[in-house]
Amino acid sequence: MTSADTPYDKGSEVRGIFEKIAGYYDRMNFVMTLGRHAQWCREVAARVAPAEGGQLVDLATGTGVIALEMARRYPDATVTGVDFSAEMLRRAKSKPGADAVCWRQADAMSLPFEDESFDGITQGYLLRNVADLDGVLREQFRVLKPGGRIAILETCPPSGLMKPVMRWGIRFVVPLLGQIVARDRKSYTYLESSTLAFASPEHVAGVLRGIGFRHVKWRKKFFGTNVILWATKPR
């Protein structure tokens, strides 16, 4: 709890959580998605679909699953993995194939890159963890080249007939798994609450269009609790 005269710094809180959970992040993603997480990361890498070669960046790269998949899928491209967590990056750098990626510690809200630096941008579970959704997507628009594509993997609040069941599962099962698998219920209580409070794909798509992205599409996954969105910056 912060006092009225103490600004709340969501970035610092989130950074602390991800520093803490880095050691079991991959394991928990596997368990919480019943093994589907790696498949979704492969789809995100495929959706960015750059021209031969080029510059690609994976934001909120975490342990580098999407960045490493892009390096494998697009061997002629230069792939950069960016995260604000030093411990996440340390884990990513220890994985097989990590030498094929340029790893960079940076904040997605203020990227240390020139305008129109990248042919493609990917990200996994970044948007729900930032205080300014519009701002972080505008920053991506800035560093993306005209004609380039972004591909986003994100959680989304359940909807439809399964909504009550899935909300119950997210609210109670996710923290319980955090306790059993990672012995860290508190961190996964935050991840549960950030999922339920996050915007719908329709809202995110509207923000993307408002910024200037075109051809915005999405596909829900896992009973509507995860989503992949993709969009293009006009030439």
**pLDDT of 216 above 90:** yes
Highest mean pLDDT among 11-20, 21-30, 148-157, 173-182: 148-157
Q: Pick from 127, 151, 126: which is nearest to 70 by CA? A: 151
Q: What mean pLDDT do residues 170-191 have?
A: 72
pLDDT for the residue numbered 69: 98
Q: What CA–CA distance (Å, rounded) separates 100 from 140?
A: 23
Record the pTM: 0.89
CA atoms 191, 195, 199, 204: torsion sign: positive
Give the type of residue at 37: H
Instruction: Report the C-alpha gap between 124 and 234 in whole angstroms.
Output: 23
| pLDDT of amino acid 5 | 40
List the binding residues for S-adenosyl-L-methionine: 63, 83, 107-108
CA–CA distance, 114 with 112 (Å, rounded to integer): 7
Banded pLDDT at 51 (limits 50, 70, 90)? confident
**Torsion angles phi and psi, residue 57, rounded to 5:** -135, 135
- Model confidence at 171, in pLDDT bands (50, 70, 90)? confident
Q: What is the average pLDDT value for the chain, to the nearest integer? A: 88
pLDDT over threshold 80, residue 2: no
- Both structure tokens of 36: 């589907």
Q: Are 103 and 93 in contact (CB under 8 A)?
A: yes
- Residues of each annotated binding site: 63, 83, 107-108
| 23: DSSP letter | G
| pLDDT number for residue 225 | 87
| pLDDT of res. 7 | 39
pLDDT tens for 78-101 read: 999 999 999 999 999 999 999 999
What are the structural domains of the chain?
Answer: 10-155+200-232 (3.40.50.150)
